[in-house]
Amino acid sequence: MDINILIGAEAGKGTARTSLMIGKAFALIGYYVFNYRDYPSLIKGGHNFNVLHISDEQIYSHENEYDIILALDQKTIEKHLKNLKKDGFILTERSLIKSEIKNKTISIDASEIMKKHSFQEIMINNILAGSLFKLLGIPLEFALKAAEKEFGEKSDKIKIAITEGYNLIKEPKIKETQKVNKIKRNKKYFISGNEAIGLGAIASGLDLYIAYPMTPASPLMHFLALQQKKHNIFVVQLEDEIACINAAIAGSYAGARTMVGTSGGGFALMTEAISLQGMNEIPLVVYLAQRPGPSTGIPTYTSQGDLKFALNAGHGEFLRIVVAPGDAKEAFEKTIEAFYLSEKYRAVSIILGDKHLGESTYSFDSFKLDSSKILEKIKPTNKKMDYKSYLITENGISPRALPGSNFVVRATSYEHDEYGITTEDPEIIKKMVNKRMKKMETIKKEMKKMETFKVYGKGKNLIIGWGSTKGAIIDALKKLEDFRFLQIYYLSPFPNEIKKYIENAKNVFIIENNATSLLSNVIAENVGIKIENKILKYDGRPFTPKEIIREVEKVAKK
């Protein structure tokens, strides 16, 4: 089984939740599911749609050719009919559309059901979902479990609607390849990138999350807010991003394991305080969810345009850790690493995501929880000592202490001596700069033992990517001959070890969601290799596997 289902309607009609519920049903019976969201910056009106890719095999992306269109309005048919496969079909309710497409439409009549249960209009979604479950061969019990998982205590009426829609389909007449062929018992995790980052933060011992709402980072705040009581964390919304990051640094200074989240415009406001972190060396984790810029840009679409911004955020020379996970599983694992490195090296860790990573939903078999990367939290001590907040050490890392201890713990934005006392003495300034630079050398040694990049496949041709482009590249790799994929996780410190893979490749391609191939610039700066073949997309939409296959084969055949 390998199908793509599009679910469309205007904003406010519930397409996102319906899509997630359908996806959860398939994950419950052991199928791999990927869910893509596409929506304009509107609360009502416009056109929203989700694409569910469902398969027997592990998948990470979707295609823009659909086996099924679940149409909740006429506009969905008008916009997407051209992308319906020859043997695909439209599932809809008669009152929602003007006319049926001959030999392509399965339309149900839900009017009697709506009257019988006094349902609101939005419940048509769930009646249609029930009919879809029946057509695809999903047992009703799993459909109802999925409704419970998605809607919780509010699922009673939804389960009635699903059951009614399920019973409307008497004899499903669709292709066998579009149906569930086996009920598996190894259910999959099915979570978004934002949720995975939240779970990684919680696993790392998160105490405090501070943010100002900004798409596409806002879902992380919403997720963590719902976890406050269960995991004893505190989620705060402040008046702007300047307040958020300064409050986060203060919270970390006091001993709370702290994180902030934002997108490009908010991150711009945070950069002065990131430089503050570089001087006071208070651990901090920042989630930067990219969207197209400059300025307000396109709030609800995706981009990889902030790579150089993240690498150079804040004035001055200091350690910035930048990590870019490629899917939800990696988002969980790399968030734990981000907290670990931030705490150990008293540095800022920037988790570089984007709308596609954050708001897409992925399925996978298991998480990898590396407990060695979860550091014990420090506490104030009553021990008397001559404490130096910025003690010069061989590795550049100064032992950290908390206020409330039996000595003074200083933090400052000024250059300082080992005690944290302001200085303009040239000899002391040089020593403190060297101390901060030493940290940058120390972390590189540790990161050689970590997975800073990953290579898939064994072909002679090489594709290089980072972040959310992983999904479409991995899925394209299955159909490309003689190709391998180099995925870079850490952009800073940069893994110079990738140089040998580039030098030994026949053809090298960079694939990015930006207009200037920022990664190729970073590679040139770090390993001195200029890459000519650049496949770039910058219309706010992610790559699909077929787009990648088409573009790389053009060059490979020359």
Give the Cβ contact number of residue 41 at 10 Å: 12
Q: Which CATH number fits domain 453-557: 3.90.1300.10, 3.40.980.10, 3.40.50.920, 3.30.70.20?
A: 3.40.50.920
- Do residues 102 and 124 lie in contact, with contact meaning Cβ atoms separated by under 8 Å? no
Torsion of CA 452, 457, 459, 461, to 10 degrees: -50
Residue recorded with tokens 């986060």: 248
- Residue 513 tokens read as 């969601």
Helix (H/G/I), strand (E/B), else coil: 372: helix
What strand order describes the sheet that includes 461-466?
453-456, 483-488, 461-466, 508-512, 533-536
Q: What span, in angstroms and rounded, lies between the C-alpha atoms of 126 and 146? A: 12
DSSP letter at 416 equals B
Could you state, in order of their start, the residue ranges of all structural domains in the chain? 2-187, 191-366, 453-557
Give the Cβ contact number of residue 312 at 10 Å: 12
Residue recorded with tokens 């790399």: 334
- Residue 538 tokens read as 């910058």
**482 conformational bin, left if phi > 0, alpha if psi -120 to 50, beta if neither:** left
For 274-303, give the DSSP string.
HHHHHHH---EEEEEEE-S-STT--TTS--
CATH 3.30.830.10 fits 191-366, yes or no: no
CATH 3.40.920.10 fits 2-187, yes or no: yes
- Residue 157 tokens read as 């009426």
Q: pLDDT tens digits for the chain (558 residues)? A: 899 999 999 998 899 999 999 999 999 999 999 999 999 998 888 999 999 999 999 999 999 999 999 999 999 999 999 999 999 999 999 888 887 787 889 999 999 999 999 999 889 999 999 999 999 999 999 999 999 999 998 999 999 999 999 999 987 677 766 778 777 767 889 999 999 999 999 999 999 999 999 999 999 999 999 999 999 999 999 999 999 999 999 999 999 999 999 999 999 999 999 999 999 999 999 999 999 999 999 999 999 999 999 999 999 999 999 999 999 999 999 999 999 999 999 999 999 999 999 999 999 988 888 888 999 999 998 899 999 999 999 999 999 999 999 999 999 999 999 999 999 999 999 999 999 999 999 999 999 999 999 999 999 999 999 999 999 999 999 999 999 999 999 999 999 999 999 999 999 999 999 999 999 999 999 999 999 999 999 999 999 999 999 999 888 776
Domains 191-366 and 453-557 share a fold: yes
Residue 34 pairs in a beta bridge with: 53
Q: What span, in angstroms and rounded, lies between the C-alpha atoms of 479 and 59? A: 13
